Amino acid sequence: MARGSRLAKVEASLAEAVERARADRAFVAAVGDVLRGVDAPLAKLAPSCQACGECCHFDQAAHRLYVTTGELALLTENLPDGALWAPKRCPYQRDERCTARARRPLGCRTFFCDARVGEACSALYEPAHQDLCRLHARHGVPYQYRELTAALAELRAAAKDRRFLR
């Protein structure tokens, strides 16, 4: 009983943070600008990618994707189809393709399995992430940094129970 209450509180906290972020359209637009800001320098690195989609199967790829409140607000403008939900796999992937490409988080944009660009990608990630941190502070949006699949599951449960999200 006590455990359930604590979990409900944590769940509401993320959903409320994301709702607050989504209500500030200037904030969400600014988050999108920061994310798109890494695309041109990444393209110059010309990483090798066969678009196999394996990096979105987090267990298979042995990594995790972490996202901020603002990135979740942008990404979850549409929650994915229920049929696509599976443990440790991004539910925005369908037929090995990203269905949220324009809204995908920073970690998606800056990850490539091409070892040649690993360091350069990290060098792009860190300052962009700091920009996102500053944006949260400037707009008074609660900053959270959460593992993607757990965060999406939490938001999905909140949407079902309390209609926080569409």
Q: Which residues bind ligand SF4 (CB under 6 A)?
A: 49-56, 65, 90, 92-93, 98, 100, 104, 108, 112-113
Q: Judged by CB, which is closer to ligand SF4: 63, or 134? A: 63
Cross-strand bridge partners of residue 146: 67
Q: Judged by CB, which is closer to ligand SF4: 21, or 90? A: 90
15 touches 162 (CB < 8 A)? yes
Query: Biggest alpha carbon distance in the chain?
Result: 54
Q: How far apart are CA 144 and CA 71, in angstroms?
A: 10
Residue 146 CB, nearest approach to ligand SF4 (Å): 14
Q: How far apart are CA 45 and CA 118, in angstroms?
A: 10
- Orientation of helix 25-37 relative to helix 2-23, angle to 10°: 80
Residue 24 CB, nearest approach to ligand SF4 (Å): 22
Q: Judged by CB, which is closer to ligand SF4: 96, or 161? A: 96
Nearest alpha-carbon partner for 151 in 99, 79, 49, 54 = 79
Residue 55 CB, nearest approach to ligand SF4 (Å): 3
Q: Judged by CB, which is closer to ligand SF4: 103, or 136? A: 103
Residue 151 CB, nearest approach to ligand SF4 (Å): 12
